[in-house]
Each structure stands twice: as structure tokens, then as C-alpha cells.
Amino acid sequence: MTEASFFQNLEQQYENKLPFVVYSRPINSIIKCWLQKDDVLHETVTFSESGFVFSPFDLEDSAVLLPQSECKHRVLEISNLQIGEIHNSDVKKKSEGQSFHIQLVNKCIAAIENGELEKVVLSRSEEQRVFENPIQIFKRLFNTYKNAMVYCWYHPKVGLWLGATPELLFKVEGQQLTTISLAGTQPYNANGEVNWTEKELKEQKIVTDFLANQILPYTTNTKISDVESIRAGNLWHLKTRLISRIDSKSKLKSIIEALHPTPAVCGFPKKKAKAFILNNEGYNREFYTGFLGELNLKLSKTRNTNLRNVENSAYNVIKTQSNFYVNLRCMQIIQNKAKIYVGGGITKGSVGEKEWEETQNKAKTIGNILS
């Protein structure tokens, strides 16, 4: 399929106000799109179906599903996409709520110092005018953020979201579970060097320990990598990889509930941090810090394709694959405005003014695509 025909199908889907997702996984030259045949709103609470799932921050709300069987599928393999000039040169950024956010951070620090919490991730949103077609914005995201899961997701009954997230919640291939601990944030600098503070290293360890403990009832033989620094756009993050084997009796929904939301987007202890967020942030995150990705897609791998009866052969291996990415570095487009979501982890060593500056740096990751 050519680039022109691939995006022509996608543009037609959007013009017809029919659900779709177009996405590319990190370090990947393959772009996939799913085009739902009608505008029916499918939801899942069991995560037992096959499809593409878009889940909110709060699992008390249902996740939206584009069922695999109800979609047409297109694949494009390409390194860079053809994109035009940015037309919205008169973009106006609207960054409000500095006083509220700093006060909220200070309230959170007080709760941490009183021993009620160890870490809370506080977020906010800011608006930026946008006039471009969202599919053009997706193309720019794909060309710019090669080490992220970039996507454009649309359902006429839910909304329009785009993002470039570097954070894998977890992936499953057969019985192997891989999850990533990603925390700590510093601006990228030209010399490529980064010096992490004790506060940032502690924040990273909280996430890693949480993941290791949460998967323990469902997996065995967990291997934890060394901490490394990775770049995501104009930011540095700390990253640790955990790989384990899923017990045959474990259900995917149980693993989702155990891991989501992680301390990287919620806090620790999980229940208390989530309650603090829902009671104090003052707005609905919706799908920000939720997760999205392929759900229970069947893969067939055969060691010897020359066997006559491959289906019944011991050499034929059927695997199910799921891969979920945390919905960070994202925006929701409503009419001609992009609502950009940003947040940061608050611990005992946090400073309100610096946390505000961190959210502004993060907003540039997506905001620069629009200006």
C-alpha cells in the first residue's frame, strides 16, 4: 500500500465520522491503522476480547474497544512521512493555574511529611490553539518521536486524542511479561549528559519496587535490568526493564488491575494516592495516564512450515500478544483547541515552583509539534 492511499483511507474515515486508530510502536517503521466499519461504541471490562483498547486513568470507567473483527486493517512500512508546512503560525498558548498547581503540590508535600503518602503524581492541562487536520499532526509526531508509541485515536462518541508516549505499561507475548519502570525527568541538553538527583533516583526505585511486588502473585523468574537514562523528545528519563514468566492460571485483567495505574502516573501507596488525585486535582483526567494498545492479538509461529499437518503439529506454536502503553505526552483536540496534559511526581523533596516548571517543560514535547 502506498503512503497516499494509506492516508486517503484514513482521511475518508475521519470525514465520515467513523472510529479509527493509527499508530506506530517505538523504534518501528511500521504504521498500522484500524478502521471500524460503523460508529458503534464498544467497551470492555474483562479485557478478554481481541482488538485495540483505549483505557481511562480510573478503571471504574469502562475502556473503549475497537474490536479486531469489526475493523479493516491497513499497514504501511515507511521511515518518514510527507508533511507540509505548519499553517497555524499565530498559535496562542494558554498556560494558567500556576498558583493552584503550586498550592496543590504544597498540600501534597504536607501529606507526605505527615506519613500519609510516599509519592503522588499531580497533573494539569493547558490549552493551545490548533487549526491543522489531526492526521497531519500524527504525521509530524511520527517523524519527530521515533522512540515513542505515537498515535491518533478517534471515536465520534468519545473524542479525538493524539500522543507520543515513551512508556510501556507492559506487554505479553505468550507467557512472557515485560514491563518498564520509567520515572524522573530532566530537560535534554546538547552535550548529552545528565546528572540525576537523589530525589529522582528514589522516585525511580519506588516505581521499580512497586512493579516487582505487584507482578509477584502472577509471575515467576522476574529479571530486573540496571537503571539507564533514555531520551524522549526534549526530556531525559530513568528506565528499568522487568521481564518475567506469567503463571498459566493468571488472567490478563488481574495483571492490568495490579499494575495500572503505576506510581509513575498515580503514586504510592496506590489507593491513597489515587484517592488524593481524584479528590484534589480539580478536573477529570479521562484517558490521560490511562493506557492504550493491542489487546489479545493472535500470533502463529511455526518452526517447520513444510509439515503436512501443521495445525496439529507439536511444532506449531500459537501465541497471544498484548502491548499497552501509558497515555503520556498526549493531547485531546476539541474543536480548534488542543488540551495538553502534563504532570509530575511529588515526593518529600519536591518544591512547588520547580514542579510547575517541570510540567511546562513536558508541555513542550507535544506543544512544539503544533507551533
- For 63-117, the pLDDT digits (tens) are 999 999 999 999 999 999 998 766 554 445 666 789 999 999 999 999 999 999 9
Could you tell me which CATH class the domain 3-370 is placed in? alpha beta
**pLDDT for 361:** 86
Across the chain, the runs of DSSP E, i.e. the strands, are 20-24, 30-36, 42-44, 51-55, 63-67, 71-77, 93-94, 119-129, 149-155, 159-165, 168-173, 176-187, 219-224, 228-232, 235-246, 267-268, 291-302, 316-326, 330-334, 337-346
> What's the pLDDT score for residue 273?
97
pLDDT score of 298: 87
Kindly list the distances between the CA atom of residue 216 and the CA atoms of 246, 263, 270, in Å, as whole numbers in the listed order.
Answer: 10, 17, 16
pLDDT attached to residue 189: 80
- pLDDT for 86 equals 62
pLDDT in the model for residue 314: 41
What backbone phi and psi angles, to 5 degrees, belong to 236?
A: -105, 145
Domain ranges of the chain: 3-370
Weakly modelled stretches of the chain, pLDDT under 70: 85-95, 233, 300-318
User: What pLDDT does residue 352 have?
Assistant: 95
